[in-house]
A and B are shown apart, each in its own frame.
Chain A
Amino acid sequence: MKSFYVILLISITTLLSSCFEIIEDVSLNEDGSGTFKYIVNFSQSAPKVKSMLLMDEVEGVAVPTEAKMKSKFEKICLQTKKAKGISGVTYKSDFENYIFNYSCNFKKTSNLNAALDSIKTSLGDDSLGVNYFNYSVRSKKFKRRGDNLIENLRQKMSESQQLIFSGAKYTCLYRFFDEISNIKPEGSKLSANKKTSFKQVLMSEMIHDGHIIDQEIQLK
Chain B
Amino acid sequence: MKSTLFALLLIVSSISFSQNLADKISKKATYVFTINGGPTLEQVSANEISASRVFEEMIHEFFRGHGKIQSLDQMGIDYEERIFFVGEYQEDVSMSYMSYKIKDAAAFEAMVKNTEFETEFTEKDGMKILSYDSENKLIWKDDIAILISAYYVGQEYNEWSWYEDEYYLYDEIAEAVEEVQPALEDMTQEEWEAYMAEQDKKREEERKKREEERERKRKEKEEKRRKRDEIVSNSINNRAKTYFSDELLNNKENLSIDLNEDANATFWYPNYISFVNPLMYGMAYPAFGYGRYGMFGTGLFGMTNMFNGEMVVDLYLEEDEIRMDGKMKYFGDLREAYSKIFSQKINSSFTKMISDKDLGYTSISASSKDFLDEYPKVIENLLNVYDTTYSEEYELFGDLFSIAVDEEAISELVTGDALFIFHDMGMKSVEYYSYDYDENYNYTKTLKTRMQLVPDFSFIFGTNRQDIMNRFVRLGLKYELMEKIDGGYMFKDGAREFGFNVYASVQNDFVIFSNSKSELKTIVEGKVESPIAGDKKKDVAKNTAAAYFNIKEFMTEMLLTDEIRDRDKEFFNSLKDDLDDASASMHFEKDGSVFEASAPVPAGHKNSSLYLLHTIDKMINHFDRH
A residues contacting B by CB (< 8 A) are 1-5, 8-9, 12, 15-17, 21, 23, 39, 41, 43-44, 46-48, 50-51, 54, 56-57, 60, 62, 79, 82-84, 87, 96-97, 99, 114, 121-124, 126, 128, 166, 173, 175, 189, 191-193, 195-196, 198
Contacts and interface: CB of A to CB of B under 8 A. Distances in A.
B513 to A, nearest CB: 6
A41 B207 contact: no
A202 to B, nearest CB: 14
A62 B294 CA distance: 11
A15 B170 CA distance: 35
Contact of B441 (A46, A62, A87, A198): A198
Given A43-B434, A46-B432, A82 B181 contact: yes
B181 A191 contact: no
A51 B498 contact: yes
Nearest to A198: B441
B568 interface: yes
Contacts of B568: 15
Nearest to B290: A60
Given A23-B435, A62-B293, A84-B187, A44 B565 contact: no
A50 B439 contact: no
B434 A83 contact: no
Given A46-B432, A47-B499, A121 B454 contact: no
Contacts of A48: 499
A123 to B, nearest CB: 8
B163 interface: no
27 contacts: A1-B420, A1-B459, A4-B420, A5-B457, A8-B457, A12-B558, A15-B558, A16-B565, A17-B565, A44-B450, A46-B432, A47-B452, A47-B500, A51-B498, A57-B289, A57-B293, A79-B178, A82-B184, A83-B184, A84-B184, A121-B177, A126-B207, A191-B439, A192-B440, A193-B439, A193-B440, A198-B437
B391 to A, nearest CB: 31
Contact of B433 (A82, A97, A195): A97
A8 B515 CA distance: 13
Contacts of A12: 425, 453, 455, 558
Interface in B408-441: 420, 422, 425, 430, 432-435, 437, 439-441
A210 B111 CA distance: 47
A208 B453 CA distance: 29
A173 B452 contact: no
B564 interface: yes
B196 interface: yes
Contacts of B435: 21, 23, 39, 41
The 6 closest A-B pairs by CB, nearest first: A47-B499, A192-B439, A124-B170, A43-B432, A43-B433, A191-B440
Nearest to A87: B185
Contact of B443 (A23, A60, A83, A99): A23
Interface in B563-582: 563-565, 568
Contacts of A87: 185
Nearest to A83: B184
A46 B455 CA distance: 16
A56 to B, nearest CB: 5
B203 A121 contact: yes
Interface of B: 170, 174, 177-178, 181, 184-185, 187, 192, 195-196, 203, 207, 210, 289, 292-293, 296, 420, 422, 425, 430, 432-435, 437, 439-441, 443, 450, 452-455, 457, 459, 496-500, 513, 558, 561, 563-565, 568
Nearest to A1: B459
Contacts of B499: 46-48, 50-51
Contact of B564 (A1, A4, A15, A192): A15
Chain A CB within 10 A, most for which of B210, B425, B435, B568:
B435
A84 B434 contact: no
Nearest to B493: A96
Given A1-B513, A16-B563, 4 more contacts: A43-B434, A47-B452, A121-B177, A175-B441
* B interface, over-half SS: mixed
Contacts of A123: 170
Given A4-B420, A9-B455, A82-B181, A56 B293 contact: yes
Contact of B563 (A17, A114, A122): A17
Nearest to A82: B181
A16 B564 contact: yes
Contacts of B496: 96
Contacts of B454: 47
A196 B457 contact: no
Contacts of B433: 41, 43, 97, 99
A56 B291 CA distance: 12
A115 B493 CA distance: 38
Nearest to A3: B296
Nearest to A101: B445
A57 B285 CA distance: 14
Contact of B434 (A9, A44, A47, A54): A44
Chain B CB within 10 A, most for which of A2, A15, A50, A128:
A15
A122 B453 contact: no
B282 to A, nearest CB: 15
A37 B191 CA distance: 28
Given A57-B293, A84-B187, A41 B440 contact: no
A68 to B, nearest CB: 13
A51 B181 CA distance: 39
Chain B CB within 10 A, most for which of A4, A12, A123, A192:
A12
A8 B440 contact: no
B455 A8 contact: yes
A60 B558 CA distance: 26
A60 B291 CA distance: 11
Nearest to B184: A84
A19 B443 CA distance: 19
Nearest to B362: A4
Given A50-B498, A82-B181, A122-B174, A8 B422 contact: yes
Contacts of A175: 441
A51 B454 CA distance: 12
B392 to A, nearest CB: 31
Contacts of B177: 121
Contacts of B558: 12, 15
A41 B445 CA distance: 10
B440 A195 contact: yes
A166 B498 contact: no
Contact of A166 (B185, B289, B565): B565
Chain B CB within 10 A, most for which of A4, A16, A79, A173:
A16
A198 to B, nearest CB: 5
A99 B558 CA distance: 29
A79 B175 CA distance: 11
A100 to B, nearest CB: 12
Contact of A41 (B293, B296, B434, B500): B434
B571 to A, nearest CB: 10
B293 A16 contact: no
Nearest to A51: B499
Given A84-B192, A84-B196, A192-B439, A44 B420 contact: no
A128 B64 CA distance: 41
